Structure 1
Amino acid sequence: MNQSRSEHIEYLLKKAGFKACLEGEEPDIVVFNTCAVREHAKNRAVSIIGQFASQKRKDGFPIILVCGCMSQIYQKELLHHVPNIDVLLGTHNLEEVPLLIQKRLEKQKDTQPQLAFWSKPEGQFLETGYSRKPGVSAFLPITYGCNNFCSYCVVPYATGPQRSKPMELILEELQKILEEGFKEVTLLGQNVNSYGEDLGLKWGFEKLLENIEKLVEERPSRVWIRFITSHPKDMRESIVDLVKESKVLCPYFHLPIQAGSNKILELMNRGYTKERYLEIASYIRDTIPDASIGTDIIVGFPEETEADFQQTLEVVEKVQFEIAYTFAYSPRPKTRASSMVDSVPPQEKKRRLLELNQLVRRVYQKRVEKLRGKTVALLIDKQEKTFSGRTPSNLRVFIESSVKNSLKPGDMLLVKITDIRDGKIFAEKA
């Protein structure tokens, strides 16, 4: 999501006459688009911004602009720890970035930082225009903001309520992406399943996917469409059915469970039970056997006992996630959980996280072993020491044969899985 917003900021700056620095050039302006979801990300950002700010030349350059979730949440703290920030703005007024930089250029000797914060967003989510680097994959935001208020999550406080981009704007942007030659497009939203609810659309996400399917099917070359993130409380069987029947939509569902205990899920304000989650996961597995399920899991949430943690491990055993992002809980400002006692000691959080990660790896290796000898579609998207790509179900596969000499990023081909080593999947052309 932040990568896509950064592409939008770059688009706005180029449109206003600024140009991106080439590698090795001294920048006049440095823009930091920040994230506040985790404490580690925040601390790292403060450190990096401070490094750049401390290198200001006598002429006042480079101009340091900081925007995004961290500036929205930590405005005073940022100004205190990084005194050389020139422009600080929140999440609701990115369109002002070029104007604010221009004003700063006109008042270069002004020592007071420019601040630009709207307390809440205005109107619809109408963001268009992204400076995407040529490549295989592109991102396309369809919503911004969130209405869920999970008790651990700062996102609704940083981004405001969910605003869905009008369908015609999404289709126009998708058309541009296709014309630019991208082979894979990922629809982005904090909760894509609830797309269109704020526009008065019932089953808006299904309608959007149907329209996207029609648009992409008309293309002479094949294009894959993915979407993230799906919230379990809004995940519907009809979405799974659409993906099953589609020639365009990829069978990968990022469906964060966060915890396997109903007690913790309720404390997290997630809006579903473990039983409902397992029901959805089973429906995906039964309906699309080749689909992958990804997840996010937090360990050490306030009041999580060892018994609660064991229930999370049981869910991992049952679902056998192909992809899992795992985290130890850290309190975020303004959230309801930040007022709860952080009852799980740091060392216990580390132990649970280690045990969880070990299980995630074991079940993943057990699941991908079943792929050995199978033929799958692959979209080549990386060229490093060897070529690799992703399957429609979002599994990374490495090519190890002479065919790699004739490959290039963007190629789609059928490959046969030949080996699985240390969790890595290897294949040759089918």
Structure 2
Amino acid sequence: MKKLTYTHNAQAAAVIARAYDTPPLAYVHSYGCQQNVNDGEKIRGVLLDIGFGLCENVEQADLILFNTCAVREHAEQRVFGNVGALKKLKEKNPRLMIGVCGCMAQQQHIVDKLRASYPYVDLVFGVDGIDRLPEILAQRLSRGKRYLENPSERNAVVEDLPIRRDSGFRAWLPIMYGCDNFCTYCIVPYVRGRERSRTPSDVLAEFRDLIARGYKEITLLGQNVNSYGKGLENEAGEPVDFADLLNLLCTVPGDYQIRFMTSHPKDASRKLIDTIAAQPHLCKHIHLPVQSGSNRLLREMNRHYTVEQYLDLVRYAREKIPGVTFSSDIIVGFPGETEEDFCATLDLIEKVRYTQLFTFIYSKREGTRAASMPDPTTHAEKAARMDRLLKLQDSIAFPMIAGLCGQTVRVLVEGAGRNPGTLNGRLDNNLVVEFSGDETLIGNYAQVRLTGSRAALLLGETVQNETDKKE
């Protein structure tokens, strides 16, 4: 694996400056996962570095860039719909540049479709193109021709990319890229490439900088954070794993909390559980995607664990981490799923008792093994199963959430609530509470007494004399 370092491209910046009478404006929209959101922040940082400004309205933009997701068909349809809506805007302003980048652009059939059916799209490049964006834009402007890059994989990690973060107190921090798991339903290894871990020293340096600048919640990102460190060594020459990295980061002084996603159950070790239990900076919530409660389907999905192993890990975590909560991802209607398979998933949900579930009806992805599997179950049957699953989850989670009422908890205040005059914040266990309070609390920790709940939303009130504020 190569390590590359981003440097300012003065030549590209000069080309851009000559092409516009005033600094051009860019509109960047990211779809999909937190990794995509972080990529979008880096895209904005690179654009600012070469002379672009940013805008929030496509009507004002000189460059419109969609940073895309390929995990589900619906996400792709949204992108094509939004790109199609820009045709009239391009007709009004021929100098407008329109670009599609990210995971969708890592698929040849998508690039071919954009090339043939969307002639007004000027730029197409994949997930590894962010550091090359200055060169790509300069080439488009100087040659006046479309720049449509065919998918390719670059076995490298690029450090020191400029970034324009969306928040001043919550930050995404990638620790690795790509995936080696090749779950049969998942397109990620094909569009994000194979696993590449950042060095502990590079992660630590970025983490220290975030804490020094006052960030209070850092979420570590990876397609499978539990496999962090493969092929890496620490300063003493010893292998390093995810638990080692967590312990290293927790040595940084400060008032902050660390979350991470996403964890793969096959790599979630007891060492990791012990680390979460021992480190106060680590949130006591684990997102542990199970996907199915059927061992037969888990084999078909290429998940490399059994339901029994999964439940053993959950039991161990509950023994070691008082009050730990779990969330998970579940796919309904995977090819060949029977009623027996589905009932096994319901049984697992009853045993684990998740506080949150992220559920999806199976989405066929071209190029994956599951795409060629027989899938006789109708969409109506899958939707009916989904409805049953959601009702079961609500019957479990809502009473659990209501049972928290009466506690006083520390909350990082994230922003305005749904109702006028309210704020919302996230508990250590990843649940959201809405409470009345002054906007000056946003970005600070506050002590909140939980007074009620509404479905999955907690309600509360600030405990004024215990509120933590920035000095």
Give the shorter-chain TM-score range: over 0.9
2:450 paired with 1:414: no
3-state DSSP class of the match of 2:90?
coil
Q: Who is 2:230 aligned against?
A: 197
Question: Match for 2:300: what amino acid?
Answer: L
Q: Who is 2:31 aligned against?
A: none
2:407 paired with 1:374: yes
2:122 paired with 1:68: no
The C-alpha deviation readout for 1:203-227, integer Å capped at 9, x for no partner, is 5111111111011xx22xx111110
Q: Who is 1:423 aligned against?
A: 456
Q: Who is 1:38 aligned against?
A: 72
Is contact 1:303-1:343 (8 Å) kept? yes
Question: Match for 1:56: what amino acid?
Answer: K
In 1, the alpha carbon distance for the partners of 2:92 and 2:52 equals 22
Q: Who is 1:16 aligned against?
A: 50
In 2, the alpha carbon distance for the partners of 1:304 and 1:202 equals 40
How much has 1:124 moved relative to structure 2? 3.7
2:273 paired with 1:211: no
In 1, the alpha carbon distance for the partners of 2:284 and 2:160 equals 27
Question: Match for 1:13: what amino acid?
Answer: L
Q: Who is 2:425 aligned against?
A: 389
Alpha carbons of structure 1 residues 51 and 362: separation in structure 2 relative to 1, 3 Å: same
2:288 paired with 1:255: yes
Alpha carbons of structure 1 residues 129 and 172: separation in structure 2 relative to 1, 3 Å: farther
Alpha carbons of structure 1 residues 15 and 316: separation in structure 2 relative to 1, 3 Å: same
In 2, the alpha carbon distance for the partners of 1:261 and 1:314 equals 10
Question: Match for 2:378: what amino acid?
Answer: P
Q: Who is 1:166 aligned against?
A: 199
2:264 paired with 1:231: yes
Is contact 1:128-1:173 (8 Å) kept? no
How much has 1:398 moved relative to structure 2? 1.4
Alignment map for 1:84-123 (pairs within 5 Å) = 84-108=120-144, 110=145, 113-117=146-150, 119-123=152-156
In 2, the alpha carbon distance for the partners of 1:127 and 1:300 equals 42
Once the two structures are overlaid, the 10-residue window that deviates more, 118-127 or 62-71, is: 118-127
3-state DSSP class of the match of 1:55?
helix
Is contact 1:46-1:82 (8 Å) kept? no
Q: Who is 1:314 aligned against?
A: 347
How much has 1:406 moved relative to structure 2? 7.3
Is contact 2:179-2:224 (8 Å) kept? yes
In 2, the alpha carbon distance for the partners of 1:133 and 1:423 equals 26
Q: Who is 2:383 aligned against?
A: 350
Alpha carbons of structure 1 residues 407 and 92: separation in structure 2 relative to 1, 3 Å: closer
List gaps (5 residues or longer) in structure 2: 1-34, 464-471
In 2, the alpha carbon distance for the partners of 1:260 and 1:254 equals 16
Question: Match for 1:262: what amino acid?
Answer: N
Alpha carbons of structure 1 residues 245 and 165: separation in structure 2 relative to 1, 3 Å: same
3-state DSSP class of the match of 1:361?
helix
How much has 1:107 moved relative to structure 2? 2.9
3-state DSSP class of the match of 1:199?
coil
Q: How many residue pairs align between the two structures?
A: 420
3-state DSSP class of the match of 2:156?
coil
- TM-score, normalization: structure 1? 0.93
In 2, the alpha carbon distance for the partners of 1:57 and 1:101 equals 20
How much has 1:274 moved relative to structure 2? 0.6
How much has 1:196 moved relative to structure 2? 0.8
In 2, the alpha carbon distance for the partners of 1:120 and 1:316 equals 38
Question: Match for 1:387: what amino acid?
Answer: L
How much has 1:202 moved relative to structure 2? 3.6
Alpha carbons of structure 1 residues 118 and 424: separation in structure 2 relative to 1, 3 Å: closer
3-state DSSP class of the match of 1:378?
strand
Q: Who is 1:138 aligned against?
A: 171
Is contact 1:243-1:250 (8 Å) kept? yes
How much has 1:115 moved relative to structure 2? 2.1
Q: Percent identity?
A: 38
The C-alpha deviation readout for 1:262-284, integer Å capped at 9, x for no partner, is 00000000010011111111222
Q: Who is 2:216 aligned against?
A: 183
Is contact 2:232-2:239 (8 Å) kept? no
CA-atom RMSD in angstroms? 1.8
3-state DSSP class of the match of 2:244?
helix
Tell me which of 253, 259, 276 is aligned to 2:309.
276
In 2, the alpha carbon distance for the partners of 1:264 and 1:387 equals 42
In 2, the alpha carbon distance for the partners of 1:33 and 1:197 equals 28
How much has 1:423 moved relative to structure 2? 3.1
How much has 1:54 moved relative to structure 2? 3.7
3-state DSSP class of the match of 1:210?
helix
Q: Who is 2:15 aligned against?
A: none
Question: Match for 1:242: what amino acid?
Answer: T
The C-alpha deviation readout for 1:371-402, integer Å capped at 9, x for no partner, is 121222211112232111111111101114xx
Once the two structures are overlaid, the 10-residue window that deviates more, 304-313 or 19-28, is: 19-28
Question: Match for 1:204: what amino acid?
Answer: D
In 2, the alpha carbon distance for the partners of 1:342 and 1:83 equals 35
Is contact 2:126-2:151 (8 Å) kept? yes
In 1, the alpha carbon distance for the partners of 2:177 and 2:158 equals 7
Alpha carbons of structure 1 residues 46 and 25: separation in structure 2 relative to 1, 3 Å: closer
In 2, the alpha carbon distance for the partners of 1:126 and 1:374 equals 43
- TM-score, normalization: structure 2? 0.85
Tell me which of 80, 85, 90 is aligned to 1:56.
90
Alpha carbons of structure 1 residues 101 and 313: separation in structure 2 relative to 1, 3 Å: same
